[in-house]
Amino acid sequence: MFGPAVTKWFDFLAQRINLHSKVTTTAARVLADQTLMASANLFVFLSTMAILEGDNTQKKLEKAFWPGMKATWTLWPAVQAVNFTLVPLQYRVLVANVVNLGWNCFLSYLNNRS
């Protein structure tokens, strides 16, 4: 589910967010990524895990969503800034997936803690 959605998302960002300089373009792409896609991904992850585990989805989100977003904002803006600046479009999903190997371990920890 992640790969196709992020592929379309990265294509959308590359086509639609192009400002006057590389710095402002990268900043705008990171901002869009961290406000829209990151929050949606975390919401889907926590909700899906709660459903699969038979937990209360609302309680899971109340306990884990904001701690997860704070953690997201400590790692992913830097990763995506490098990704959007230095990595060709066709390899950006690969870079995100490599980082996701460790990130998914953290999300599993966060999910089990809440």
Q: Enumerate the domain spans of the chain.
A: 2-113
Closest alpha carbon to 48 in 114, 113, 97, 111: 111
CB 73 within 8 A of CB 108: no
Q: Tell if the pTM clears 0.85, that is, is over it.
A: yes
**What is the tens place of the pLDDT at every residue in 69-104?**
999 999 999 999 999 999 999 999 999 999 999 999
CB 34 within 8 A of CB 73: yes
Q: Can you give the length of the chain in residues?
A: 114
**What is the tens place of the pLDDT at every residue in 32-80?**
999 999 999 999 999 999 999 999 999 999 999 999 999 999 999 999 9
